[in-house]
Amino acid sequence: AKRQGRNTWQWCRGTQAGDTRHSVTLRHDLHNALAEDQFELYYQPVVDAVSGRIRSTEALVRWHHPSRGMVSPGEFIPLAEQTGQIVPLGRWILRRACQDMVRFNADRERELPVAVNISSLQFHRDGFLADVRQILAETGMPARLLEFEVTESVLLDGTGPVIELMETLKDMGIRVALDDFGTGFSSLSYLRDLPTHKVKLDRSFIKDIQTDRRIAAIVQGVITMAHHMDMCVVAEGIETPEHQDDLARRLCDLLQGYYFARPMPLNALQALSDRLPHH
Ligand code: C2E
Ligand code: CA
Ligand code: CA
Ligand code: CA
């Protein structure tokens, strides 16, 4: 009944505002997309802030829509969350990321970890842990090479014992990083209680870091604070050498952004990492 209420509301919005007809169609297309094998995972390198050497990757899903071409996850992930499609899609993403990385790491001296974004519905679903265990077993992916990225809202959404779940994952060897850090409101106070090792500074901070002294102060504050709590900091959205210099000077640990590399298919990552020094 709850579900029906939700759909009705969405439908009303869709019929009232013309511009959401687009998303009604997309939502419909999303239903077949998994079965039709229209998704692909891209990988974006995360590099050491000083040396620029690749340290890990983030898996980012892509949808090759048969008529619209590439649809951005910023557009379809929220739809998949609304319809519940994110559960099977999220499972597919995790499985594919593990399969890809096992293959990728097979002939590497130094194995590369992968970060997978986990959405709220997925994280809070009862079967989540069982799915994760099953996928690790089935793919042979070592848990220590897997990291989950969750946003603050994912953690706040839950009625369940979020910290317990994070502890369980940690015991299994899977680390959980806090994504889009700084965009929410309660970040600073509740960081204290979270069993996390890493925060990812949202891209919106980096964009203005050189022109806005308050932003620069927040960034510096987060980095210093995180280090005092033995956490490491990743800055997203590094687009220029100035961004890199600035963040490296502030002792940010890891960087990710178009300046180093865009998200790319697995074979391109393979080609790139063959050319780059990795230790
Ligand atoms: P996110 O987790 O914050 O991912 C980072 C986004 O920033 C990615 O966008 C990436 O392509 C983009 N990005 C990286 N470097 C730069 C840069 O230097 N400049 C700019 N302007 N952008 C940069 P993308 O791939 O379009 O994904 C958007 C969002 O969609 C993600 O934000 C995440 O919230 C969600 N998403 C993507 N893939 C997945 C997935 O597999 N599962 C789930 N649950 N969500 C996903
Ligand atoms: Ca992320
Ligand atoms: Ca992010
Ligand atoms: Ca983001």
Most confident stretch, 142-156, 195-209, 256-270: 256-270
- The reply to whether ligand 1 has any atom less than 6 angstroms from the CB of 239 is yes
Q: Does the interface ipTM go beyond 0.95?
A: yes
Structure confidence at residue 109 as a pLDDT band (50, 70, 90): confident
CA distances from 68 to 71, 82, 188 (A): 7, 21, 41
The predicted pLDDT at position 9 comes to: 40
pLDDT tens per residue, range 8-65: 444 434 444 445 677 778 888 998 999 999 999 999 999 999 999 999 999 999 999 9
φ and ψ of 248, to 5 deg: -65, -40
CB atoms inside a 10 Å sphere around CB 47: 22
What pLDDT sits at residue 182?
81
Hey, whose CA ends up nearest to atom 24 of ligand 1?
A: 73
Residue 5 C-alpha to ligand 2 middle, in angstroms?
31
pLDDT for the residue 27: 87
State residue 20's pLDDT score.
Answer: 66
Per-residue pLDDT tens over the stretch 172-184? 999 999 999 888 7
81 touches ligand 1 (CB under 6 Å): no
User: Which residue of 64, 71, 94, 117 sits with most ligand 1 atoms within 8 Å of its CB, as the best mutation to test the pocket?
Assistant: 117
Distance 2 CA to ligand 2 centre (A): 30
* DSSP code per residue over 227-265: HHTT-EEEE----SHHHHHHHHHTT--EE-STTT---B-
CA of 110 to the centre of ligand 4 (A): 28
Please give the number of the atom of ligand 1 that sits closest to the Cα of 202.
3
Inter-residue contact 63 to 70 (CB < 8 Å): yes
CA-angle at 159, arms to 59 and 13, nearest 5°? 70
Say what angle helices 86-105 and 266-275 make with each other, to 10 degrees.
30
Percent pLDDT > 90 in the chain is 73
What is the three-class DSSP state of 273? helix
Structure confidence at residue 158 as a pLDDT band (50, 70, 90) = low
